[in-house]
Amino acid sequence: MEKRILQREENLERKEEILSNKEKEIDKRLENLKKLEEEALMELQRVAQMSREEARDIILKKVEEELQRDIAMRIKEAEAKYREIADEKAREILTEAIQRCAVDHTVESTVSVVSLPSEEMKGRIIGREGRNIRTFETLTGVDLIIDDTPEAVVLSSFDPVRREIARIALERLVKDGRIHPARIEEMVNKARKEVENKIREEGERAVIEVGLQNLHPDLIRVLGRLYYRSSYGQNVLQHSIEVAKIAAIIAAELHADVNLAKRAGLLHDIGKAIDYEVEGSHATLGADLLKKYGEHPDVVHAVAAHHEEIPLVKTLDVIIQVADSISAVRPGARRESIEIYIKRLEKLEEIAMSFPGVEKAYAIQAGREVRVLVSPEEVDDLTATRLAYQIAKKIEKEMEYPGQIKVTVIRETRAVEYAK
């Protein structure tokens, strides 16, 4: 047994030695393989005249191009599929909402001009050493501009309510003829009370016209201030009433809460009544004001989100945004100065021309559409789809505009030859 054990130990030692030799041989071969791999890589780089990193970049770029083509194709297919489903239903709802709501708009001026019976009245308004005009401006908070305009003075103020109080007071002072500091103070106080009553009446009228209940009296008063506020010539209170009616119609078609849609529609621009006094966007200010007076959380969120300053989450958010756009962009609802209009068209064309492969870009239909002509050698059909999407997203990001802007990318190839 001892001999057998010794013999086995000798056999194991021999096998261990063989394994050790083989391991050394394998290590040596691995080392040779590494050297050969490095030599092959160096030779490959020499032949290809590029490094490993450059080759990787080329491969990644090619894969990225293929993925972009695939993504563009999928976007095109998905848009075609869902547009067919959504367009018909959306068209029905919006058409019915627009047809069932027709509200007249009063175009309000942002500058008040008061006519005078004679040029002599300007001197009486100014008063001895300017005491009358200083008293008037101090009491009203409005700048009274007296220039060379014949038989007229201009009232200038960022606050339309103050401007209205000043207009009423000045017209009565001119009509009365007695202009001195005590009389000015009396007339301004009377005009202030009259405007406050008018604000309350207009707020109550709006609430009754829309058919709302349980609205806080302070909110009604703030809402009435919108009667003296205009945006691009569109009276904001009348616009809010129209948005409330359109939102209610859309909500009824979508089986949403009609009452909440009315409240959110009527109150969506209430921040414009206080944005002269408090810093911030009117959507944020309006939402904070409604939260303060305990309005429904869905209404507060819809007001805050109607210009997408916070994400649109609920159906009511989208309803208010759509109703606001319908009221604002319908023909005749608003007016813009020619300078703002031209700048917007130039900005549209500038954004479209900033993309590679674009040859020309034209803003048409009063800025409602931008047509982009691309080079067929640089942009293929699938890339054109992706380009239209990218231009639209950049317009959304960099521009402010009412409604929507259509982006049309045109790619064509022309072959011209002359017969001689």
pLDDT tens, position by position, 91-101? 777 776 766 65
Going by C-alpha positions, the residue among 308, 89, 333 that lies closest to residue 235 is 333
Give the bridge partners for 114, in sequence order: 153
Whether residue 10 is predicted with pLDDT greater than 80 in this model: the reply is yes
pLDDT at position 124 is 85
Going by C-alpha positions, the residue among 380, 377, 354 that lies closest to residue 65 is 380
Whether residue 106 is predicted with pLDDT greater than 80 in this model: the reply is no
- Name the one residue in this structure whose structure tokens are 């300017």: 130
Distance CA 87, CA 65 (A): 32
pLDDT at position 276 is 65
User: 2: pLDDT confidence band, cut at 50, 70 and 90?
Assistant: very high
More confidently predicted of 342 and 360: 360
Does residue 251 contact residue 327 with C-beta atoms inside 8 Å? no
The amino acid sitting at 232 is: Y
Does residue 393 contact residue 386 with C-beta atoms inside 8 Å? no
Please give the average per-residue pLDDT across 164-178, as a whole number: 87
Stated length of the chain: 420
pLDDT at position 5 is 92
The mean-pLDDT minimum among 77-86, 88-97, 250-259, 371-380 falls in: 88-97
Does residue 379 contact residue 387 with C-beta atoms inside 8 Å? yes
Please give the average per-residue pLDDT across 54-75, as a whole number: 83
Give the bridge partners for 118, in sequence order: none
Identify the DSSP state of 130. G
Does pTM top 0.85 for this prediction?
no
The mean-pLDDT minimum among 5-9, 129-133, 288-292, 365-369 falls in: 365-369
User: 78: pLDDT confidence band, cut at 50, 70 and 90?
Assistant: confident
pLDDT at position 323 is 87
